[in-house]
Amino acid sequence: MILKMESQAVLFLISVAVGAFGAFFFDIFRILRKIVKHVNFAVQIEDILFWLVLSFVMFYVIYMQNNGEIRFYLILGFSLGMILYLQTVSRVVLAAADAIVSFCKKLFSLILRIILLPFQVILHFLKVPAAFLLKKAKKCAGLVKKKLQKLKGYAKIKGRKAFINLRIVFRKR
């Protein structure tokens, strides 16, 4: 199908816009990868899925706007849109995203410190009594150990006496 020059120009601009939007979504993936660390295998799978989805979007645009006829200027417009976005706007988007992520991390850290502050204060005040009780518990444990050793020795002596007494009682006559 032969298109008028104006229709081809509009279609070229649409493909440039689709390429720029595709690069923008790629930046979103890059930002998410900075926030949540990924292993290499996951990055490769994400990249493959990204390019598959982007290819389907591009071919859908071509199908809807140009009745499925793939033309070189459409692929060129798509590539040009990605390159223009990545060389210009992408740097600003990534810098803004880094600033936002950094701010959110600091804000989260501050909120967490505020939430944990009462617990830190309680622990600080409980440290002195806990140390005192621990010292007393160790001292008591030492005394208990000595008493148990005494009782163990006493039980041996008593046990022998009891055993001797039982032998006397149950002796055959």
Domain range annotation of the chain: 5-87
73: enclosing H helix or E strand? helix 72-87
pLDDT of residue 60: 84
pLDDT of residue 151: 61
Does 133 score more than 90 pLDDT? no
pLDDT band of residue 164 (cuts 50, 70, 90) is low
Distance CA 31, CA 35 (A): 6
Distance CA 59, CA 111 (A): 47
Kindly give, in sequence order, each residue whose CB lies less than 8 Å from that of residue 15, ignoring residues fewer than 6 positions away.
Answer: 58, 61, 62, 73, 74, 75, 76, 77, 78, 81
pTM of the model: 0.60
CB 91 within 8 A of CB 97: no
pLDDT digits (tens, 9 = 90+) for 66-125: 777 778 888 899 999 999 999 999 999 999 999 998 999 899 999 998 998 888 888 778
pLDDT of residue 4: 77
pLDDT band of residue 168 (cuts 50, 70, 90) is low
Average pLDDT over residues 162-168: 53
